[in-house]
Amino acid sequence: MTTPIDSQGVHQHALRFFEEEVTFLFHITDWCNLSCQHCFINAQNVPVHQFTAEEVLSIVRDMKKLNTTRIAFSGGEPTLHPDLTRILEVAVEEGFSPDFVSNGTLITEELAEKVRDLVRCVLISVDGPQEYHDTFRGMKGAFQSAMRGIEALRKKDVPFALQFTVTKKSFPYIEWIAETASDLGAESLKLEPLFVGGRAREIASSCLSEKEIDELAEFTTRLYGQYLASTSVYMGIHSKKVLTEHPCNAYACFGSECHRHAENDPRELIILPDGNVVPVDSCLNPRLYMGNIREKSLMDVVQEYFGSPQHRGFLALCRKVFDEQVVSYPYEAIPWSQMLAAASWEDGYD
Ligand SMILES: C[S@@+](CC[C@H](N)C(=O)[O-])C[C@H]1O[C@@H](n2cnc3c(N)ncnc32)[C@H](O)[C@@H]1O
């Protein structure tokens, strides 16, 4: 569907859908059994915000209409949600192959059996060897429980992957996590540098420097080659080359300006446990949130977003970060979405 765009590239028609394929990271609860030092959700040991299976059903139906190709459910801890299996069924009924992200501690063989035919992959967070992991995740025994969860997935042939948070302290364990992921039979390993948000504000000094992120990228390339046959090792960070060759990936060109004719609608969307829908990075300033699906349907949130001050603000932010930071960034591995989030809290970007 094509609609007219104004001089800032913002669509003028109220009623339209995403032009490009979108992915959703859907935090269905903020309830968690762990108290991780770095939790950007600020998850608690009681459910403060939690979607019901019925609410998820109507949201997932809207996602289907919105050109969504991938959904990952997260939390809090999604396995604490009493209706996780029903939620996965709903996604499958709508034609998705969902993923979910878990700390693994509550995954039993019974749960693994139930989700086997419903999920594309279960992503399990492992942040280091036993002692480090338990301290970082705020619970003695968390590591052993996660390993039992992984064993249950393996026994029931459920595809799984590992996710590892890279901090200054856990950097020395990268070789170990790659070997562990491969030995366990994980289909992939995502190395995610710590970003600042929620409880991670307290440990901001553990974030990697720009240079360390670049070193991590080189390390990742080596590990990718080393474990190619068993586990795909990758990093949750953008490439400067990709962003500068195709500024549409940074939402910094659009429509006729873009040689790929890509539209600059946000393509990665996050639903926070409190219902706020956020483009690209969960740590973005709330004044750029798209809307709240506890107040109106996801469809209405999206329809009202196009051309709104929030949409214009988001595009202005992307343009400013691109012009002022991306183009001159000294390294190839660039924490672009974190730069976007940080800049959104500064005054005067729009
Ligand atoms: C918010 S958790 C929720 C799912 C589940 N409870 C878990 O621990 O995997 C989802 C993922 O985000 C990661 N994460 C949380 N806070 C982060 C931060 N500040 N920086 C980087 N990754 C973070 C976790 O390590 C986990 O892999």
- High-pLDDT (> 90) share of the chain, %: 87
How many Å apart are CA 130 and CA 133, to the nearest integer? Answer: 5
Residue nearest to atom 3 of ligand 1 (CA): 75
pLDDT at 259 over 90: no
Residue nearest to atom 5 of ligand 1 (CA): 102
Pick the residue with more confidence: 119 or 347?
119
Indicate the top mutation candidate among 49, 145, 163 to test ligand 1's pocket, ranked by most ligand atoms within 8 A of CB.
163
Angle at which helices 336-344 and 309-321 pack, to 10 degrees?
120
Domain 22-344 sits in CATH at: 3.20.20.70
What type of residue is 41?
A: I
pLDDT interval class at 253 (50, 70, 90): confident
Indicate the top mutation candidate among 125, 164, 177, 194 to test ligand 1's pocket, ranked by most ligand atoms within 8 A of CB.
125
pLDDT at 2 over 60: no
Residue nearest to atom 6 of ligand 1 (CA): 77
Distance 32 CA to ligand 1 centre (A): 11
pLDDT at 25 over 60: yes
pLDDT at 1 over 50: no
pLDDT interval class at 7 (50, 70, 90): very low
pLDDT at residue number 99 = 98
Distance 275 CA to ligand 1 centre (A): 18
pLDDT interval class at 265 (50, 70, 90): confident
pLDDT at 11 over 80: no
pLDDT at residue number 21 = 87
Encoded tokens for 267: 């393509």
Q: Report pLDDT digits (tens) over 278-290.
A: 999 999 999 999 9
DSSP line for 285-327 = -GGG--EETTTS-HHHHHHHHTTSHHHHHHHHHHHHHIIIIIT
Distance 78 CA to ligand 1 centre (A): 12
Q: What is the mean pLDDT of residues 267-272?
A: 96
Distance 291 CA to ligand 1 centre (A): 23
Q: Give how far Cα 138 sits from Cα of 9, 35, 38, 89, 317, Å.
A: 46, 5, 10, 32, 36
pLDDT interval class at 348 (50, 70, 90): low
CA 341 to chain centre: 14
> Backbone phi, then psi, for 147, in 5-degree steps?
-65, -35
pLDDT at 78 over 60: yes
Distance 165 CA to ligand 1 centre (A): 8
pLDDT at 14 over 70: no
pLDDT at residue number 19 = 66
Indicate the top mutation candidate among 37, 40, 205 to test ligand 1's pocket, ranked by most ligand atoms within 8 A of CB.
40
Q: Report pLDDT digits (tens) over 195-240.
A: 999 999 999 999 999 999 999 999 999 999 999 999 999 999 999 9
Please list the alpha-helical segments (H only) found in 95-253.
109-115, 130-136, 142-155, 174-184, 210-226, 240-245
Per-residue burial over 296-328, b if 16 or more Cβ lie within 10 Å, else e, is: eebbebbbebbbeebbbbbbebbbbbbeeebee
Encoded tokens for 58: 């109507």
Distance 33 CA to ligand 1 centre (A): 13
Distance 277 CA to ligand 1 centre (A): 18
pLDDT at residue number 82 = 97
Average predicted confidence (pLDDT) for the chain: 92
Pick the residue with more confidence: 6 or 269?
269
Sequence-separated contacts (24+) of 284-288 with Cβ below 8 Å: 284/340, 284/341, 284/344, 285/341, 285/344, 285/345, 287/313, 287/344, 288/313, 288/314, 288/317, 288/344
How many Å apart are CA 85 and CA 53, to the nearest integer? Answer: 9
Domain ranges of the chain: 22-344
pLDDT at residue number 3 = 36
pLDDT at 350 over 80: no
Distance 197 CA to ligand 1 centre (A): 11
Indicate the top mutation candidate among 73, 74, 136 to test ligand 1's pocket, ranked by most ligand atoms within 8 A of CB.
74
Which ligand 1 atom sits closest to the C-alpha of 75? 3
Residues with CB under 6 A from ligand 1: 32, 38-41, 74-75, 77, 101-103, 125, 163, 165, 192, 194-195, 197, 200
* 236 CB-side CA count, 13 A: 17
pLDDT at 45 over 60: yes
Distance 39 CA to ligand 1 centre (A): 6
How many Å apart are CA 267 and CA 318, to the nearest integer? Answer: 13
Q: In degrees, to the nearest 5, what angle opens at C-alpha 189 toward C-alphas 154 and 193?
A: 140
Q: In this structure, are strands 22-27 and 268-271 parallel, antiparallel, or unpaired? A: parallel
Question: Which range is least confidently modeled, 9-13, 166-170, 243-247?
Answer: 9-13
